[in-house]
Amino acid sequence: MTSGNNIETEYLELNSKNKWQVLFQKIGSHNFEDNKCSEAIKPQNKILNRYRDVSPYDHSRITLKRGSTDYINANLIKVERANRQYILTQGPLANTYSHFWLMVWEQGTKAIVMLNKLVEKKQDKCFQYWPPKIGSDYKMQLEDVGLTVEYTEQQDHSYYLTRVFRLTDTETGDSRDILQYHYITWPDFGVPTSPTVFLEFLRKVRNAGVLESTVGPAIVHCSAGIGRSGTFCLVDSCLILIEKYGINSVDVKEILLEMRKYRMGLIQTPEQLKFSYQAIIDGTKLLLDQNSTSEEENNVHISNNISSNVSEESSESEEDEPPPLPPPRTDSLHNHNGAPVDRPLPKIPKSVSDNDLSYENNKQTYIPSGPLPVVPSHEDEYSEEDELEEEEDEEEEVLGSDSPVSDQSELTNSKHSTSYEVRQRNRAQRKETMESQVRDMKRRQQVNEQWTQLKRSLYLPLIVGGSLLLGGGLIAYVYYKG
């Protein structure tokens, strides 16, 4: 690969003179009069176009082979020197998503690159052409084209999503898994936040092998299928050409004009054109870095071989050298094979509550030992039989068990009032005693909880350079997050 600065020099000149609008208008001034759109303007096909001013050229449009129509707003883009082919299309409509899946099936496509969200700026930009949820229960039946679509998998990669759909021909029973790369942070009529992030997305798509000529052309779409879609294809094709022929062999403007012969209006704004240059320049630098890295790896491999030979020759002289220093303290936490030693920390008793711990005035508190007392429930305090028995005993104490009958008869009139007072007094005493016991139990339980919390705080690890300070000793440990 040559190390010229053609594209970078052109970019710096355009940027310094702020001529992106001029270059964009110059590209747009090329008129492809021979490219007709007669099929797109037919009455039965007008309702199949998302936008009136974005139509597929007749000579490169994709034609469907079965179903109620052969028309779909899509074109096959060819970049011969880069050995690349793409199908650029609009975001499917509610009345065209079955045609979209038929195109995927008939063209042998392995991946869909989606560069827009379904709704942008409160406007519908694309119909959700896949099932609402994962699973066979949500399978879409496309009876008009003889296909079914099942949503089988999704992965979230922060700024883009990957999905897997199983497309099945109901006539033959044949199935294929289709990948979808959904870029969710590219604004309409705008550019990604960073060329680096976009290039990482492009790298993921490339590494899957879905853009290669050995498989059916990838389907790339946004809302209209010309702006963001054109940017993606232009950057990918230019980087392929730079990798094959060198940076001086690539003219970004000419490649874009070549692609516009197949579909109108590719790249919609000067900002998208400028971003394409930035991404191509950054991508070229990454390619150069990768090549230099591979050369360094080869040099390191050769150096390691030489070092191993030298170490074998000098093994005898090393026997006279002093022994090595002991390993760092953290090394003692590994087995001989390098695996961390599983040394459990001391058990921390569970606490009923961690919210009531306080250390007001640093008072010394007596901490009871042993299990907490069992607090009886109110149902177990006294039964009715026990209460009656106690009332009878109290009445006997008041009346006297050995009093004569005559004395007992004199006390009959005051019996009820006296026994009632005794019962009330005894009940009050029992209640007061029980409440005192309950308060004492709660106090002891609270103290025990505070003690538990205090012990837990003593076991709390203090991480200092990979060490645990526990009590007064320093225990080295390895913090391993499973």
Listed ranges 30-34, 54-58, 364-368, 403-407; the one with the highest mean pLDDT: 54-58
pLDDT at 243: 93
Predicted confidence (pLDDT) per residue in 108-122, tens digit: 999 999 999 999 999
pLDDT at 454: 73
**Which pair of structure tokens corresponds to residue 270?**
């000067």
* CATH class belonging to 6-293: alpha beta
pLDDT at 401: 43
Predicted confidence (pLDDT) per residue in 170-224, tens digit: 999 999 999 999 999 998 888 888 899 999 999 999 999 999 999 999 999 999 9
- Catalytically annotated residues: 222
Asked whether residue 2 carries a pLDDT value surpassing 70, the answer given is no
Percent of the chain with pLDDT strictly greater than 70: 66
Annotated binding-site members for substrate? 188, 222-228, 268
pLDDT band at 371 (very low <50, low <70, confident <90, very high): very low
pLDDT at 96: 98
pTM: predicted TM-score of the whole model, two decimal places: 0.62
Predicted confidence (pLDDT) per residue in 413-432, tens digit: 455 556 677 778 888 888 88
pLDDT at 357: 39
pLDDT at 350: 45
Annotated binding-site members? 188, 222-228, 268
Query: What average pLDDT is seen over the chain?
Result: 78
pLDDT at 436: 84
pLDDT at 54: 97
pLDDT at 298: 52
Asked whether residue 125 carries a pLDDT value surpassing 90, the answer given is yes
Ranges 36-40, 264-268, 368-372: which has the least confidence: 368-372
pLDDT at 465: 43
Asked whether residue 383 carries a pLDDT value surpassing 80, the answer given is no
pLDDT band at 317 (very low <50, low <70, confident <90, very high): very low
Percent of the chain with pLDDT strictly greater than 90: 54
pLDDT at 434: 85
pLDDT at 459: 53
pLDDT at 442: 83
The average pLDDT across 390-415 equals 46
Domain range summary for the chain, segments of one domain joined by +: 6-293, 360-460
Asked whether residue 473 carries a pLDDT value surpassing 80, the answer given is no
pLDDT band at 253 (very low <50, low <70, confident <90, very high): very high
The average pLDDT across 61-85 equals 97
Predicted confidence (pLDDT) per residue in 341-361, tens digit: 444 544 444 444 444 434 344
The average pLDDT across 402-406 equals 43
Asked whether residue 327 carries a pLDDT value surpassing 90, the answer given is no
